[in-house]
């Protein structure tokens, strides 16, 4: 998942950008979430410091602060070197500064043409999603599923276990930071996953790499984020 950040000191303009972005994410069914919109560059930096996901940053250049958008981008790069930075501004003459500050901006969007802004923001979001997916697939093994019309990729390292859903022919993926229900069966998953994923119960497949503790007396597996799943007596020996 990609986190979206918007930093614009003009509240009305910021809300316009946020509305456009949220509509695009919804229509295109992108695996992204709006994490923060603010006029305060320091508030954005504080959020970036604790973020676990790669970000997409839509930044105004003139923020009426002692930190402008270019300097903010430089600071963002320290915490998120793979993030996607897009400048939205009314000052086309400042585009050259993206090279001067060496922030590797993805794009430079001018505010003076609202119709063009929508087109450019859509291009940026789609491009960022495509590049992020390609990069993730190269550096991490991922499981890709379809849920609610969206294709979602989750790192194997982030998956705790899969659980049979109470909804027929559906499975729930339990990751470190979210749960996703999607069509499928545990039988189908058994042949699709690698050797780290093993059936431990008729209703569960667990990722051994994220197990924190095994309670053999009560047949409960505890995972690193505090979640638990059941373990059958028959499959305890294999575990």
pLDDT tens column, 202-239: 999 999 999 999 999 999 999 999 999 999 988 777 67
Residue 35: per-residue pLDDT: 96
Confidence of residue 164 (pLDDT cuts 50, 70, 90): very high
Strands 228-230 and 220-223: antiparallel
Q: Where in the chain is the domain with CATH 2.40.50.1020?
A: 142-236
Q: DSSP H helical segments within 54-168, as ranges?
A: 69-79, 97-100, 114-139
The DSSP call for residue 169 is: T
Q: CB–CB of 197/213 below 8 Å? A: no
Confidence of residue 92 (pLDDT cuts 50, 70, 90): low
SS3 content of the chain, % helix, strand, coil (to 5): 35, 35, 30
φ and ψ at 229, to 5 degrees?
-140, 165
Q: Where in the chain is the domain with CATH 3.40.50.2300?
A: 2-139
Residue 106: per-residue pLDDT: 87
Looking at domain 2-139, its CATH architecture is 3-Layer(aba) Sandwich (3.40)
Q: Which class is domain 142-236?
A: mainly beta
The pair of structure tokens assigned to 185 is 């069966």
**Mean of pLDDT over the chain:** 89
Average pLDDT over residues 160-188: 94
Confidence of residue 97 (pLDDT cuts 50, 70, 90): low
d(CA 43, CA 187): 46
CA distances from 237 to 186, 201, 221, 234 (A): 20, 12, 13, 7
Strands 107-110 and 84-89: parallel
pTM above 0.75, yes or no: no
């Amino acid at each position: 998942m990609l986190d979206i950040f918007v930093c614009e000191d003009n509240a009305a303009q910021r809300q316009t950008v946020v509305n456009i972005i949220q509509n695009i994410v919804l229509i295109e069914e992108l695996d992204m979430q709006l994490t923060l919109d603010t006029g305060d560059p320091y508030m954005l930096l504080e959020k970036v410091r604790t973020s676990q996901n790669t970000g997409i940053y839509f930044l105004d250049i003139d923020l009426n602060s002692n930190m402008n958008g270019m300097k903010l981008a430089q600071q963002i790069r320290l915490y998120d070197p793979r993030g996607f930075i897009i400048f939205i501004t009314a000052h086309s003459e400042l585009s050259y500064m993206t090279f001067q500050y060496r922030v590797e901006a993805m794009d430079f969007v001018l505010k003076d043409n609202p119709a063009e802004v929508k087109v450019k923001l859509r291009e940026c979001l789609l491009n960022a999603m495509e590049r992020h997916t390609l990069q993730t697939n190269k550096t991490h093994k991922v499981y890709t599923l379809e849920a609610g019309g969206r294709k979602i990729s989750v790192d194997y390292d982030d998956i705790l276990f899969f659980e049979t859903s109470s909804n027929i022919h559906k499975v729930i993926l339990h990751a470190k930071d979210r749960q996703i229900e999607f069509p499928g069966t545990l039988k189908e998953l058994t042949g699709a996953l690698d050797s780290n994923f093993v059936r431990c119960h008729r209703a569960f497949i667990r990722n051994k790499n994220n197990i924190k503790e095994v309670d053999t007396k009560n047949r409960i597996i505890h995972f690193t984020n505090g979640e638990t799943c059941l373990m059958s007596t028959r499959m305890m020996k294999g575990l």
